[in-house]
Structures are given as C-alpha cells and as structure tokens.
Chain A
Amino acid sequence: MLELNHVYTRYGKVECLKGISFTVKEGEIVAILGANGAGKTTILKTISGLIRPTAGEVLFKGKSISSLSPEAIVRFGVAHVPEGRQIFQRLEVRENLDLGAFIRRDKSEIQKDREMIFEIFPILKKRLKQKAGTLSGGEQQMLAIGRGLMSRPSVLLLDEPSLGLAPILISSIYRMIRAIHEQGKTILLIEQNAHMALKVANRAYVLQIGQIVLEGSAKEVAANPAIQSAYLGG
C-alpha cells in the first residue's frame, strides 16, 4: 500500500534520511523505532508531503506521491497525525473534527465516522463544545487521532502517540490504536517507546541516524539482543 524507495532528504546541508526503503502492506501496523534525531518524524513528513525528498520516491497504492502537496496527499488517503498533536487549540473539539473531514462532502458518512470516533474515544463526545486547548494531554492526543481518522484515510501515520503522556494513558491510547486497527485501518507508527509499539505492531523497522539498521516481525525485533539492550531496557 505504502512504499518508500531509497528516499533521501536533507535540511540545508545536513542529510537526514540516507536512502530509506520500506513497505507497509494493507491492514498492517508497522512500527518505526529509533532514538531522538534518528529521522523518524522526517519519514512521516516526507510521506505526507511536508518535506520533499531529494532523491528516491514515495509510492502510495502504486503511484508516486513524492511531488504532491500535503493537501493533495490527504485526498489520496494518507492522514498524518503529527508529532506533538498540533490540534487547533483555539477551536472547539467539534471544529477540529470538522476540519479533519475538510476534504469530504459526504455528510451522512462523515456523521457515521464521527460516531465511530466517539465509540473509540467516548471522552471526545463530552468535550465537543470545549476549546481544544483546554483538553488534557491524553485527550488532545485522542482528538489528534480522531481528527486524522475523519478524513477516512486508507493509511494513518502516527507520530509518537505516547509522547508526554502518563504510563496509564499510554496503555489506553494503545488500546485505542489497536481498536482502530481492528476496524481495518492500515497504520504506520513512529515511536521511541519501543515496548508499547512492538506490542501492537505486526512488523517493525529500526532507524539509526537516517538509515534502517534492522527489520523484521515485531517478535523478531523485540527478541533481538541489540534492541533488548538499547530500547527495551533488558
């Protein structure tokens, strides 16, 4: 469904991704793990069109999307839930969700998706009229994911959904991610929290300073001694 072929990007003179290739198949959860500065966020930004690759290409459903604008890429069915949530704080929760469905016109289907999102995140329904900036960190993360789902994407890109959340919230966010996956969504997940990510993912890639150094099923990656010591504390 989603495929990166030898993607290179740079910020100014600094090369950030050095020939990244990986695939995400329909219905999978794929995790990309790595430390700060490994280039995890850059990968998602490159897929969603916020950054242009300097070489290589991003294929989505077999077509190259690497030269398209972010607006066009959302229409193709890629939703990017950015790092640090980036919800619209001054807007109401309801308006944030409406903006998630900005590209759609099918009102009754939008309503259905909204109901589906309230099933996964019941708290959002209670907060509908509140300014999004008044939500707690966990609620903001739920809103950010819900807003991403409102475009009814074929693939959902999640950037560190556990960032800055208390452990108990992290496990409930991950329960919700699993629920979204069970409804048939393909998910590409970026995490520092390897432990949580490997619990839900089917497959994983490990990124180190712009290169993929390890790939395999989530079980294989979790069992790898280098990963054990570097990311899983054990």
Chain B
Amino acid sequence: MSLFLQQILNGLSIGLVYALIALGYTMVYGVIQLINFAHGEIFMVGGYLALTVILLFSLFFAQVPVWGALVAMIVFSVLGCALLGAVVERVAYRPLRGSPKLTALITSIGVSFFLQNAVMLIYGSKEQSVPPILPYHVFEMGAISFSLMQVIIFFTSIILMTLLTRFVKFSKTGKAMRAVSENREAASLMGVPVQKVIQATFVIGAALAAVGGALFALNYESINFHDGYLAGLKAFTAAVFGGIGSIPGAVIGGICLGVFESLGAGYISSEWKDVFAFILLVTVLIFKPSGILGEHLPEKV
C-alpha cells in the first residue's frame, strides 16, 4: 500500500510537469490545429536557460541564495522561451498560415531539429549536470516521503494552471483565443487581431513549458539537448489522452500519464516506464481517439 501511495505521489509530480508542457500543445492545437512538434524543444531550452542562471549565480555568489536563484531562473527561462515562442511563430509558422496543415507540421519538425542542434552547438552535446541549489530535504508522512522539489513542482504548477484557466475564461485575450479557436473568420469580424492572438497562444504555451523545463532540470540535476524530444512526446501523449484542444484535458492527461508511468515503474520495472507512456497513447488512439475530454461538435452548417 505504501509503495502504491508513494508511486502515485511521484507520478503526480512528474505528471504535473508533463501537464505544463501538454498545455502548450493543446492550446496551439486549439487555435490553429497544428501539432507543434517543436514544443518539446522549447521545454528543453527552458531547462538550459535555467541552468545558465544557476551557473551565473554560482559564479557570483559563494553561497547561492536559494529562493533568489529559484525565482531568477524561472523568470529568466520564462522570458527567454516566451520570446523564442513568439519568434518561432512569426518566422516559421505565420508565413504558412494559408497552406495545408501538413506543411506546418513538417515545419515544426524542422524547427525542432533546428533548436536541438542550436543548443548542442552552444552548450555541447554532453549531458550537463545541473548544480543542486535546493537543500536536500525530505518530508515524511507516515510511510510515504516527498522532497522539497516535489512540493515546489506541485505548488508552482497548480498556481500556473489556475491562473491560466482564469485567464482563458475571463480575460479579453482569453475570450479572443477561444473565439479564434472556434471560428477564425467570425473572430476577425469582431475586430479580434487574429494573428496576434495566435502568437499570444504560442507565447503562453512556451512560457509554461519553460517553467516545466526549469523544474525538470532542477529535479533531475542533469540536462541534455535531446531531453525535449522524449518529454515533448510524452506531453503530446498527455494532451491526446486528455483530449487535444482541451485545457483541463491536458492537465488530467498529464497527471494520469505521470501516475501510470510511475506505477508501472514501481510495480514492473523502471526500465519500462517510457513503454507504459506509449502503451497509453496507442490505447487511447485505438479506443477513444478524441481523448477523455475531447469534444466532437457537430459539423457547422
């Protein structure tokens, strides 16, 4: 029983990171029906930007101020990735707006290779270790234990997801996003600047992935230029599982995927945990391709 609870808890924290990335997939898909395969790379860049901040901090401080460094690295990777998201949208995807969906999809794979190789050229191809800045602290609760890092992941992602939900529901830009995702032409007739709204969606997705990347790098204490590939693929699985296009779907999908993976790792073998993720993807695609919360609106007349 305690193994079960422990694995659920571990799964929850990794699942929340998947969910942060999955939100970017699902939102971009929602507005332009594009699976942005470069999104995993944005996550990876977020991790590297966080690493850079930590290295800078350890250069200037003998004793790194923990919370200062934590906030600085999140802010820096969020800003960096948001900018990167805006540039990628403008340069790679906007010129293809009128073209077939497949063209943009292939382009996103191209952008993904580009970013991987750019990072490899800058930081090198070797695995980089991320210096642990958090004090190693384990909380015990009966038979289960969790780390300070897990607590931080938990609260950061819950806060971000709540903010995002409120933003999409209540803000003017959020309403515009939903309008564009449902009917781009009608949205433009309302005076919604469609291109800017699409770009804002990329920026928000990238910012969330950046937080995920920073937390991921800190949690695993190492980072590599192809980390974005697997994490991206899993987050994509989470988004599909939850129902692509649905924001709560991405969160539920991420958590389910994390827990499923972690239970598989705990009870069967941790070598097999990636296999479980993709078993889940294949199963969903066969039995409920629209995902848990995916909606099927009747075709417009």
Binding site for B on A (CB under 8 A): 48, 50, 69-71, 74-75, 79-80, 82, 84, 86-91, 95, 98-100, 102-103, 133, 147, 151, 164
Contact = CB atoms under 8 A, between A and B. Distances in A.
B132 interface: no
B1 interface: no
Interface string B178-218: 11001101111111111000000000000000000000000
Contacts of A70: 188-189, 191
B300 interface: yes
Given A71-B192, A91-B179, A99 B187 contact: yes
B91 interface: no
A44 to B, nearest CB: 10
B190 A151 contact: yes
A135 to B, nearest CB: 14
Main secondary structure on chain B at its contact with chain A?
A: helix
Contacts of B189: 48, 50, 70, 74, 79-80, 82, 86
17 contacts: A70-B188, A71-B191, A71-B192, A74-B189, A82-B186, A86-B183, A86-B186, A87-B186, A90-B178, A90-B297, A91-B175, A91-B178, A98-B172, A99-B187, A102-B175, A133-B297, A164-B301
A50 B190 CA distance: 12
B175 A95 contact: yes
Contacts of A147: 190
Nearest to B181: A90
B176 interface: yes
Contacts of B183: 86, 88
Given A90-B178, A91-B182, A99-B179, A84 B191 contact: no
A89 B182 CA distance: 8
Nearest to B182: A88
Contacts of A90: 178, 182, 295, 297
A131 to B, nearest CB: 11
Contacts of B188: 50, 69-71
Contacts of B182: 88-91
Contact of B185 (A50, A79, A91, A99): A50
Given A84-B300, A87-B186, 16 more contacts: A50-B188, A50-B189, A86-B183, A86-B185, A86-B300, A88-B179, A88-B182, A88-B183, A89-B182, A91-B179, A95-B178, A99-B190, A99-B192, A102-B175, A102-B176, A102-B192
Interface residues of B, number: 21
Contacts of A98: 172, 175
B175 A99 contact: yes
Contacts of A86: 183, 185-186, 189, 300
B170 to A, nearest CB: 10
A95 B194 CA distance: 17
A41 B194 CA distance: 22
Nearest to A49: B188
Nearest to A72: B191
A122 B285 CA distance: 45
Q: Shortest 3 CB-CB distances between A and B: which pairs?
A: A74-B191, A103-B191, A70-B188
A199 to B, nearest CB: 26
B210 to A, nearest CB: 29
Contacts of B300: 84, 86
A230 to B, nearest CB: 26
A50 B182 CA distance: 17
> B176, B178, B183, B190: which has the most chain A beta carbons within 10 Å?
B190
A95 B173 CA distance: 12
Nearest to A150: B190
B190 A100 contact: yes
B243 to A, nearest CB: 13
Contact of A102 (B185, B190, B295): B190
Contacts of A89: 182, 297
Interface string B83-116: 0000000000000000000000000000000000
A151 B175 contact: no
Contacts of B172: 98, 102
